[in-house]
Amino acid sequence: MKRKRFLQSVLGAAATFPLFRSTASAQTNSSNQKVGEEIQSRAPLPALPEGAWSLVALPDTQAMSLRFPKVFRHQTEWIAAQRETYQIHFVVHEGDIVDRNTHPEWLNARHAIDALVDARIPFSLLPGNHDLGRWGRTDDRSSLMSEYFHFGDYRNSAKVGYFERGQIENTWHEVNVPTGKLLVLSLEFGPRDLVLDWANTVVAERPDFDVIVVTHAYLYHDGTRYDWAKKGKEQTWNPKDYPLGKQPGGVNDAEEMWTKFVSRHGNIRFVLSGHVLKNGTGYLISEGAHGNRVHQILANYQAGVVPDRGFGGAGFLRLMHFLPDHQTVQVKTYSPWYDQWLVEPEHQFTVTL
């Protein structure tokens, strides 16, 4: 009974968050506003051409779930409001939904994601290292994620499948998009061998789908994959270097994911990831075993992207516009909280499939 009353009280507080806010009220911190004026651009994007569509990637929201839930909610409300403008067909979360795997944080995340559920926008979630273990210490794979999110939350996906009954940590989603058949595959932090075996089967059964793989820890900020065997601690926060990585059951870093899974399939187009705290952007093109180009993209705006931006990442997210030529994808970076675009080359670029 005490726990029920606690949850109700926190949910009641969450429900008082304003649905929308003005840009002017967002910039109450003068130093943040100055940085925004110097580094960022508010120039609006032109309208999408007919037949184009967008996917939104939400990088690590852990600090927002912990300290700035209004910013997280504002992200998802903006997505819902802009669904038609940008033809948003799917939203992926790149992991580290929360910071310490606690009930109040998951309630904040639940409140934010509810904006997508209510707008009937398909989305996928996956656990990052902070979503796992006691206090987010990644000492095992226990998580409150599947207590706060469940199968019904994915009812807006055309089709959805799960690695494990009762758990939404590893899922696939078939998506109806104007440019053809799309499969989004969301995989846990440091996927186990069994998960990669499952993923291989899921993709092999859908050779006529373009595939986007989403996982938490994959690309490093220097544009290389996490590779414990060759680089060890030189690349900080490799999944192998967490308590979970030292336990039985299997943890694969990015290079192992590439060898065991990603490189084997000619229809995998993208791998999206977050995790890297500082200098949290990166891009790598690799050729798969079938001669296909795989675009691997890192985005995490918690630190090192814009100095003194505040608000746990300032609400920056990634918009990926898939153009009707079936070859061009425009990657943009935007903050609904500041109503500002990042226009530097690492934040705004074009991908050719």
Taking the domains of the chain in order of start, what are their residue ranges?
53-352
Q: How does strand 88-93 pair with strand 53-58?
A: parallel
3-state secondary structure of 329: strand
CB 333 within 8 A of CB 306: no
Q: Which residues pair with 171 in a beta bridge?
A: 162, 186
Please tell me the predicted confidence (pLDDT) of residue 59.
96
Distance, in Å, from the CA atom of 49 to the CA atom of 321, rounded to the nearest integer, reads 10
Tokens of 91: 């939203």
The whole-angstrom separation of Cα 240 and Cα 129 is 11
Q: 92 near 184, Cβ under 8 Å?
A: yes
Per-residue pLDDT of the chain (353 residues; tens, 9 = 90+): 333 333 333 333 333 333 333 332 333 332 333 333 333 445 565 678 899 999 999 999 999 999 999 999 999 999 999 999 999 999 999 999 999 999 999 999 999 999 999 999 999 999 999 999 999 999 999 999 999 999 999 999 999 999 998 899 999 999 999 999 999 999 999 999 999 999 999 999 999 999 999 999 999 999 999 999 999 999 999 999 999 988 777 899 999 999 999 999 999 999 999 999 878 899 999 999 999 999 999 999 987 555 556 788 889 999 999 999 999 999 999 999 989 899 999 999 999 99
Of 299, 344, 318, 320, the C-alpha closest to 53 is: 320
Question: What whole-number distance in Å separates Cα of residue 261 and Cα of residue 95?
Answer: 20
* Three-state DSSP state, 204: helix
Report the alpha-carbon distance of residue 29 to residue 35 in Å, rounded.
10
What's residue 237's pLDDT?
Answer: 95
pLDDT score at 4: 38
293-299 vs 281-287, strand pairing mode:
antiparallel
Predicted local confidence at residue 309, as pLDDT:
62
CATH of the domain spanning 53-352: 3.60.21.10
Cα distance between residue 10 and residue 25, in whole Å: 24
User: Which pLDDT belongs to residue 245?
Assistant: 87
